[in-house]
Structure 1
Amino acid sequence: MESIIDKKLYKLWYVITFILLAVSFIWTAKYHMDDYPYFEKTNGFQIILYVCVLILYYLLYRHIKYIEKIPYPVLVCFLVFIGGLYIFLLPLDPISDPKYVVEGAINIASGDFQSVLESDYLQSVQKNINVSLLYAFFIILLPKSVLSLRVVNLLFLTLTAIIVGKISKLYGYSEKGAFFFMGTFIPLIAYLNQVYFDIPLLLLSSFAIYIYIKRKDYFGLLIALVILGFAVLLRVVGFVFIFPIIIDYVITKKEILLTYKRQTFIRSICIIALLFLIIFGVNKGIHFIFRSTNASDESIWKLFWMGINEPEFGMMHNEYLLVPQYSTIGFDDFLKTLCSRSFFQNIRLFSRKILWIWTQGTYQFQRYGFGYDGDSSSKFIYDTLLTNHFLNTSQKLPKLLIHLGRAQYMSLFTFMFLGVRKSYKKIDVLNVRALLYPMVLTFLVLIFYEMKSRYIFHLIPIMLILSFIGQEHLADSIKKPGNFILHRFKKYIVFFLIIDLIIGLSSYAVIEIYEKQNQEHLSIINTAHSLATDYGLDLQVREITIPNINREYDFIYISDLHVYASSVSEIPSWGMTKDTRLGMFTCVRNGMQSAEQLKTWIAITNNMKADGLLLGGDIIDFGDDQNINWVQNQLSILEVPYVYTLGNHDSYDYVTNSQNPDNGDLDKIFLDADKDCSYIDYGEFIVCQINSSLNCVSADTLEKFKSVYYIGKPIILISHVPLYSEDDSMLKDRVETIYNNDRLIGNGLDNVMDSDTQEFYELTTADNSPVIAVLGGHIHFQYDSMLNGWIPEYINSSAADGQGYLIRVKQ
């Protein structure tokens, strides 16, 4: 019975990995450094590099005897040397969550417990206090610095590689070979900069698996469970190893267990329960010492609920974390959101999510190992000969390492697929249940849990052992004399090695050529970011994909600047004084008032030689002629085209306290363009603005929009009032929380659309719509969503807060 279940499970995982592998040849899962996932078409370079690494890995396996001849101390020294160079030559300043874990570890090691009690971050997540405590223990006698903590990481990684080598030996494969593969796996080396739970958890889970597989008795089970119990103190992912080990033990020892007397059985259960109570007591002790009385943990269901958000198909959507009502998310909210969508909506969400997690391939090490894009002084603890080459991931060296790291992962994934196939065919001989079940359980959990590709980091040792089985399977197939093609492959194995080297060098040359061709474009991006940083502005990149365009385009997009010209006298605009309005729209980042900020955004646009400046409405605070004249004078300095969109403030008449979109003075800004709907044709696509300033689209505006719509070219649409898609209720919820009304255009809102607005909305979001992206504003916070599941909408915050988008249009 158990064999049948195993076979079904092996076969299911074999089919799933085959589908993922096949689709990855068409779509490549990518990670953007602004922390969102996306896909792009797989290109020839990626496939060539993957084939190169695949062949190289196979050849290394076939000639593993040469690695076996290397003394073990030499291999260990090699790993320590490579890891040490990386740690000290790329001294990344801690970022994101690890920043607080590092601070906690240093404070605990220094005896400063009060700082831990006062840390809002650590008090909200006890498991990160546990992580800090673990690292603190190892640096008590070392200098209290982040570099010491990374040396501890190197120690953990070295021990993990040794243990994985021993697991490999238990299965009859090369111990030194496994160590070598672990020590040369780029994502593992990159993660040495990540002082967090990832590497300690990798060590503990590997050690537990080794102890259990080596002994396969009751005592081995107990030791493994104790180790994994401590792993659970770091993260609940420890349970994905606990359950499979217990299941494997019960199945393997079924006959012995059936002979146990009731007392013996109860005693065994009690011993296991006692061990977990001890671990639970340790956790409570840590809680008592290092947590304040009012501290509470974030609900795990919030992370499951986050895992089914549609805009980023399951990745942590930080916008939602800012809304107070989402701090109490529970199981009911998760279930309600899941059931509110159609079957096909959920299939689309989960299929993208699964594909991204399992084929992204870098474990996001470009973020956690190389850090955010930025200048050297803000990114690194000190400068070295490498730091200037790792300022951003578009530079040659980090880009090459990212490509190689993914190729390594996909090669392991491929051989793992073959290993599962062999395990399925020889299930009676190969018992890999303790390896395969944690992987399947991780797969099932991550269907719903918050999405990060680093959440499968703990499976690297398992993938490696299964890949050895797969490589053996491939080698056995090649040895078969009846298989003519594979036999020829064996005969010319040296030839393939030479070809592999040639292809590898050619691939590097392709990168060099590609970099030179794109140097001008990268210079534009770097210029924009550099100028924005100098002025204290936050310029974020958003990408729009248009297939088969001949070049890339760059636009600056801002909205809701609310310019109040200094020459304007005291006017009771919006029921407030002039000083109040000026104070509201003065940037806290740089102290600039909105009028000065417009000059700055224009200077950035001119300096980067952008393809256009896109203005998303509410650029002026109200429609006074002095405001209009001031803005028009600034726009006349522009050296590139611009598209101006009406907002509700642009058309506000303070005399009548009403909207007046027909204000003739606004014609100065629009020049010859139509205020209701106008566009610029860039040949390969159109940038079009539409007047939605009154939360609707008039009949005349609709007809003008249709004339653009049916030109037949891709359209980037600017609408001051954002469009709303019913499958993203979080946008509506947040807007209503802040403003107590909808402020959006779409179905399912309290603000019901009239027939003309309804037709505009349906045209825009239709399956065959030429609209390929929407840019919005109005609501004064940033938000990315997908309309109808495929049209990206980028809503910008108030530019008065110093925030703008660099819109990059690419193939």
Structure 2
Amino acid sequence: MRCCCVFGLAAAWFCLRDVSGEDFQADLSDLSAVRLLHITDSHISLSDEVPPRSSRMFGAYARSRNRDTKSPTTPQQEFSRLVGLAQDLHVDLVVLGGDIFNFPSNQTVTWVLEQLRTAGKSFVFTSGNHDWMLEGQQGASRYDAARISELESTFRPLYEQSLSNGGSCYMSLGHWNRPGIGILYGCTVIKGLLLLFIDNSNYQVDADQLEFARVQLESVSKDTPIVILLHIPLMLPGVTLPAKELCGHAQWGAATDTLWQLEGRPRWPAGNLQSTLDFRDLLQAKAAPNGPVVAVLSGHTHEDASVLLRPPAETAETCEPWGRSWTVRSEGGREKLKEGGGALQYTTSSATEGAYRVLTIY
């Protein structure tokens, strides 16, 4: 399927399409193309390490079934297979979109890093809610109380070996000394593409994350496309999922927190931070063809989906020329792409069943 949009002779041209077969093979000869392998929601746990707090999640994903072959498998087998595909798929970067782990585990982090080392591909990691959450913390001060401490300890080796650990993309920040850099948000440049990750694994985007994104989006050159990596997809026009599946859902909060007792944790707070809603507005305002954001990659829902960042009518009415043209191609996702022109938010299904997405930008 192909859906293209041309906004005037002087405006940027932007195209979205699913590819396979001959189209896919043709992309491999284009040395300027940037290819990202998106793997999310692997839910790996090598053992039931901290029973009973780890037992529910360990049992939920101890076994799986490959969605293509229907053969019995495990999250570990599928993750090893998927990162092994990186060479065959000629990708430039492995993008790990959160919930790679079932719960925080030094043992499993070491194992995942060994799989990535063996594959020989650079990677970027952002966390999901299950990565840092170990169930049974009813006495915690808030629902995400363990998040920062786990990311700064258990998951530090992932951030240290990630391609987002330093690099020229941070120069635009000047003398930035805020503590979340490299863990709650970060960036890398690969073959001219700027990849930003924003950790919204607690369903929110805080003021520092918003400011980081704003500085990056406003300082980027007009020859640089931007891909945003999130764990939880943004609430956007046309999306009908419940509050527990989306970031920025108007009904998100304590009143719609249906899992707090099952997970043994405090309830979510009353509602969204204003910075979360402002972050969504920022990405919509900067979405191609009007701006540099050519795609958002997300997971969390365990389903393939894509939705326009901005409604077609709004994009057409406000379109102004922006830099050069880009084409974005998706392979692996099973959803039907939305008709119309403009940047999409892609949600990739769970890697426990072997799902993945390759995004090509050129």
TM-score by length of 1: 0.31
Q: What letter corresponds to residue 576 of structure 1 in structure 2?
A: R
Q: What letter corresponds to residue 285 of structure 2 in structure 1?
A: A
CA distance in 1, matches of 2:57, 2:284: 41
Q: What letter corresponds to residue 684 of structure 1 in structure 2?
A: G
Query: Which position in structure 2 is the counterpart of 1:38?
Result: 3
Instruction: Note closer, same or farther for the CA distance 1:580–1:755 as it changes in structure 2 (3 Å cut).
Output: closer
Query: Which position in structure 1 is the counterpart of 2:61?
Result: 581
Q: What letter corresponds to residue 225 of structure 2 in structure 1?
A: P
Q: CA deviation at 1:574?
A: 6.1
Q: CA deviation at 1:394?
A: 3.7
Instruction: Note closer, same or farther for the CA distance 1:761–1:40 as it changes in structure 2 (3 Å cut).
Output: closer
Query: Which position in structure 1 is the counterpart of 2:225?
Result: 714
Q: CA deviation at 1:770?
A: 2.8
Q: CA deviation at 1:719?
A: 0.8
Q: CA deviation at 1:722?
A: 0.2
CA deviations on 1:14-59 (whole Å, 9 max, x unpaired) are xxxxxxxxxxxxxxxxxx2xxxx401669xxxxxxxxxxxxxxxxx
Aligned pairs for 1:419-568 (under 5 A) are 518=26, 520-521=28-29, 551-566=32-47, 568=48
Aligned pairs for 1:174-193 (under 5 A) are none
Q: CA deviation at 1:755?
A: 1.6
Instruction: Note closer, same or farther for the CA distance 1:807–1:573 as it changes in structure 2 (3 Å cut).
Output: farther
Identical-pair percentage? 21
Higher share of residues assigned strand? 2
CA deviations on 1:682-719 (whole Å, 9 max, x unpaired) are 25221111100000012232233333223313210011
Q: CA deviation at 1:671?
A: 1.0
2:248 is aligned with 1:746: yes
CA distance in 2, matches of 1:626, 1:747: 35
2:163 is aligned with 1:661: no
CA RMSD, Structure 1 to Structure 2 (Å)? 2.9
Residue pair 1:620, 1:631 contacting (<8 A) in 2 also: no
Q: CA deviation at 1:665?
A: 1.5
CA distance in 1, matches of 2:102, 2:185: 21
Query: Which position in structure 1 is the counterpart of 2:196?
Result: 688
Q: CA deviation at 1:654?
A: 4.1
Q: CA deviation at 1:577?
A: 6.6
Instruction: Note closer, same or farther for the CA distance 1:41–1:596 as it changes in structure 2 (3 Å cut).
Output: same
Higher share of residues assigned helix? 1
Decide which of 288, 293, 301 is 1:779's aligned counterpart. Answer: 301
Q: CA deviation at 1:750?
A: 4.4
CA distance in 2, matches of 1:627, 1:519: 35
Aligned pairs for 1:240-639 (under 5 A) are 392-394=21-23, 518=26, 520-521=28-29, 551-566=32-47, 568-569=48-49, 571-573=51-53, 576=56, 578-583=58-63, 585-587=64-66, 589-639=70-120
Q: CA deviation at 1:636?
A: 2.4
Q: Which has the larger radius of gyration?
A: 1
2:210 is aligned with 1:702: yes
Residue pair 1:624, 1:653 contacting (<8 A) in 2 also: no
Gapped regions of structure 2 (runs ≥ 5) = 8-18, 166-181, 254-270, 312-341
Gapped regions of structure 1 (runs ≥ 5) = 1-31, 43-371, 374-391, 396-514, 523-549
Number of corresponding residues: 269
Query: Which position in structure 2 is the counterpart of 1:646?
Result: 127
CA deviations on 1:244-268 (whole Å, 9 max, x unpaired) are xxxxxxxxxxxxxxxxxxxxxxxxx
Partner of 2:156, secondary structure, is: helix
Instruction: Note closer, same or farther for the CA distance 1:574–1:607 as it changes in structure 2 (3 Å cut).
Output: same
CA distance in 2, matches of 1:651, 1:558: 18
Q: What letter corresponds to residue 72 of structure 2 in structure 1?
A: G
Residue pair 1:571, 1:578 contacting (<8 A) in 2 also: no
CA distance in 2, matches of 1:520, 1:722: 29
CA distance in 2, matches of 1:520, 1:551: 10
Larger relative contact order, structure 1 or 2 (CA cutoff 8 Å, min sep 6)? 2
Q: What letter corresponds to residue 724 of structure 1 in structure 2?
A: M
CA distance in 1, matches of 2:308, 2:74: 33
Q: CA deviation at 1:645?
A: 1.1
Residue pair 1:724, 1:787 contacting (<8 A) in 2 also: no
Instruction: Note closer, same or farther for the CA distance 1:564–1:763 as it changes in structure 2 (3 Å cut).
Output: same
Q: CA deviation at 1:393?
A: 4.7
CA distance in 2, matches of 1:519, 1:806: 12
Residue pair 2:41, 2:300 contacting (<8 A) in 1 also: yes
Residue pair 2:78, 2:353 contacting (<8 A) in 1 also: no
Query: Which position in structure 2 is the counterpart of 1:137?
Result: none
Q: What letter corresponds to residue 309 of structure 2 in structure 1?
A: L
Q: CA deviation at 1:760?
A: 1.3
Aligned pairs for 1:88-103 (under 5 A) are none
Q: CA deviation at 1:753?
A: 2.6
Query: Which position in structure 2 is the counterpart of 1:446?
Result: none
Instruction: Note closer, same or farther for the CA distance 1:762–1:626 as it changes in structure 2 (3 Å cut).
Output: same
Q: CA deviation at 1:595?
A: 1.1
Residue pair 1:722, 1:777 contacting (<8 A) in 2 also: yes
Instruction: Note closer, same or farther for the CA distance 1:574–1:788 as it changes in structure 2 (3 Å cut).
Output: farther
CA distance in 2, matches of 1:742, 1:587: 26
CA distance in 2, matches of 1:605, 1:551: 18
Q: CA deviation at 1:743?
A: 2.3
Q: What letter corresponds to residue 83 of structure 2 in structure 1?
A: I
Residue pair 1:612, 1:641 contacting (<8 A) in 2 also: yes
2:281 is aligned with 1:762: yes
Residue pair 2:34, 2:191 contacting (<8 A) in 1 also: no
CA distance in 1, matches of 2:28, 2:95: 22
Q: CA deviation at 1:748?
A: 4.3
CA deviations on 1:645-698 (whole Å, 9 max, x unpaired) are 110011113463654222111011111631111111125221111100000012
Partner of 2:154, secondary structure, is: helix
CA distance in 2, matches of 1:572, 1:619: 21
Residue pair 1:562, 1:619 contacting (<8 A) in 2 also: yes
CA deviations on 1:155-214 (whole Å, 9 max, x unpaired) are xxxxxxxxxxxxxxxxxxxxxxxxxxxxxxxxxxxxxxxxxxxxxxxxxxxxxxxxxxxx
Partner of 1:576, secondary structure, is: helix
Partner of 1:697, secondary structure, is: coil
Instruction: Note closer, same or farther for the CA distance 1:656–1:742 as it changes in structure 2 (3 Å cut).
Output: closer
CA distance in 1, matches of 2:23, 2:285: 35
2:246 is aligned with 1:724: no
Partner of 2:137, secondary structure, is: coil
Query: Which position in structure 2 is the counterpart of 1:798?
Result: 350
CA distance in 1, matches of 2:232, 2:308: 15
Residue pair 1:593, 1:800 contacting (<8 A) in 2 also: yes
Q: What letter corresponds to residue 38 of structure 1 in structure 2?
A: C
Residue pair 1:623, 1:654 contacting (<8 A) in 2 also: no
Instruction: Note closer, same or farther for the CA distance 1:747–1:591 as it changes in structure 2 (3 Å cut).
Output: closer
